[in-house]
């Protein structure tokens, strides 16, 4: 839950890469990308460091946008708090 008591949604890489490649290019669909950024700013959505690495590795316009607009909304997967649930599954 965020500070407003709302559910926080964790986004995977597909929410960024598929729209960028197929439907909502950064050259004509900025309202979509602005929406993602504004939802992250108010604490409704986040992503993880692994998604950040994948997107940045692409070295394209999406990577540039991500670095400029979304990289501050990534949580690390390298803390014990994040690793505990995965350890219980294995």
Sign of CA dihedral 30, 28, 71, 85: positive
Q: Residue with structure tokens 């992250």?
A: 40
- Model pLDDT for residues 12-58, shown as the tens digit of each residue: 999 999 999 999 999 989 999 999 999 999 999 999 999 999 999 99
State the pLDDT confidence band at 10, using cuts at 50, 70 and 90. Answer: very high
State the pLDDT confidence band at 90, using cuts at 50, 70 and 90. Answer: low
Does 83 score more than 90 pLDDT? no
Q: What is the pTM of this model?
A: 0.83
């Amino acid at each position: 839950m965020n500070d407003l008591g709302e559910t926080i949604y964790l986004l995977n890489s597909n929410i960024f890469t598929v729209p960028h490649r197929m439907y909502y290019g950064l050259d004509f669909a900025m309202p979509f990308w602005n929406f993602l950024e504004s939802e992250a700013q108010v604490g409704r959505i986040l992503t993880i460091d692994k998604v950040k690495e994948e997107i940045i590795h692409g070295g394209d316009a999406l990577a540039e946008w991500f670095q400029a607009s979304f990289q501050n909304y990534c949580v690390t997967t390298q803390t014990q708090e994040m690793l505990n649930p995965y350890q219980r599954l294995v």
